[in-house]
């Protein structure tokens, strides 16, 4: 496995690289490449199997880099290292594998590598469009909305239009989505804020929050984000 580490502090970078190198085995070899900045990583033009990066970097920060990477590679596992708990929610914007608090330890390295070995192909749905059949990865899907008798699938790349009913995708509520209104399902990972009557999404879109669904949505939201801390 080719692992890339991006860390602007030299001592931390060397220590982290050593921890991952020590975890390498015959059955699971780990080759480590280290970079001091987002720019040097991009210049190297490598394709790692795992990217471990500090969320706060000099120059282009780790989150900005992660978003650029997601534009061209939707599946490479990303792990954020940080001293700052307040950035944990941002990890969901780029489908981070884990958000680990510094300092890195051999136990945390083992945890990260274990999660990598357990990765499955990204969950998705298949929808019919005028152009044929499309597969949409769930981590890329912000919301499903019924509007003017059309199904609108709001993704990070744009809107995909299809026909059908919202109930055809009710199973999404078992996969990190929640119904906030009779005509809208949203991805919990992309909710940025809840108010008494609105749901604010990461892309700036607002959806109505029905009174009937409010308690259920709030509970699902807090449970969903609590899992990130529990898993990491």
Whether 150 and 222 share a structural domain: yes
> Cα separation of 5 and 26, whole Å?
21
In terms of pLDDT, which residue wins out, 49 or 178? 178
DSSP conformation class of 201: E
Contact present, 30 and 16 (Cβ < 8 Å): no
Strands 158-162 and 177-181: unpaired
Query: Which residues, in sequence order, are CB contacts of 185 under 8 Å at separation 6+?
Result: 143, 144, 145, 166, 169, 172, 173, 177, 178, 179
Whether 14 and 112 share a structural domain: yes
Quickly state the pLDDT bin for 227 (edges 50, 70, 90): low
Taking residues 126-144, report their average pLDDT.
89
> Cα separation of 132 and 117, whole Å?
34
Q: Tell whether the model's pLDDT for residue 74 goes beyond 60.
A: yes
The pLDDT value recorded for residue 93 is 66
Whether 17 and 99 share a structural domain: yes
Strands 98-101 and 78-82: parallel
Q: Tell whether the model's pLDDT for residue 198 goes beyond 90.
A: yes
**What's the domain count of the chain?**
2
3-state secondary structure of 110: helix
Token output for 63: 């989150």
pTM of the model: 0.54
Query: Which residues, in sequence order, are CB contacts of 26 under 8 Å at separation 6+?
Result: none
Could you tell me the residue range of the domain that residue 188 belongs to? 124-231
Quickly state the pLDDT bin for 82 (edges 50, 70, 90): confident
Domain boundary among 117, 144, 161: 117
């Amino acid at each position: 496995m080719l692992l890339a580490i991006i860390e602007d502090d030299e001592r931390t970078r060397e220590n982290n690289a050593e921890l991952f190198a020590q975890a390498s085995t015959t059955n699971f070899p780990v080759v480590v490449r280290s970079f001091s900045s987002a720019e040097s990583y991009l210049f190297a033009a490598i394709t790692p199997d795992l990217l471990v990066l500090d969320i706060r970097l000099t120059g282009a920060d780790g989150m900005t880099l992660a978003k650029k990477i997601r534009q061209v590679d939707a599946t490479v596992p990303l792990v954020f290292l940080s001293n700052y708990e307040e950035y944990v929610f941002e990890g969901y914007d780029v489908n981070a594998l884990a958000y680990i608090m510094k300092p890195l330890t051999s136990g945390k390295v083992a945890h990260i590598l274990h999660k990598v070995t357990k990765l499955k192909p990204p969950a998705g749905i298949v929808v019919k469009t005028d152009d044929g059949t499309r597969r949409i990865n769930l981590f890329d899907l912000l919301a499903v909305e019924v509007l003017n008798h059309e199904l609108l699938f709001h993704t990070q790349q744009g809107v995909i239009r299809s026909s059908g009913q919202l109930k055809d995708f009710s199973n999404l509520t078992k996969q990190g989505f929640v119904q906030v209104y009779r005509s809208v399902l949203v991805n919990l990972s992309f909710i940025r804020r809840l108010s008494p009557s609105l749901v604010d999404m990461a892309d700036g879109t607002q959806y109505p929050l029905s009174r009937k669904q409010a308690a259920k949505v709030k509970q699902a939201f807090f449970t969903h984000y609590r899992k990130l801390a529990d898993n990491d």
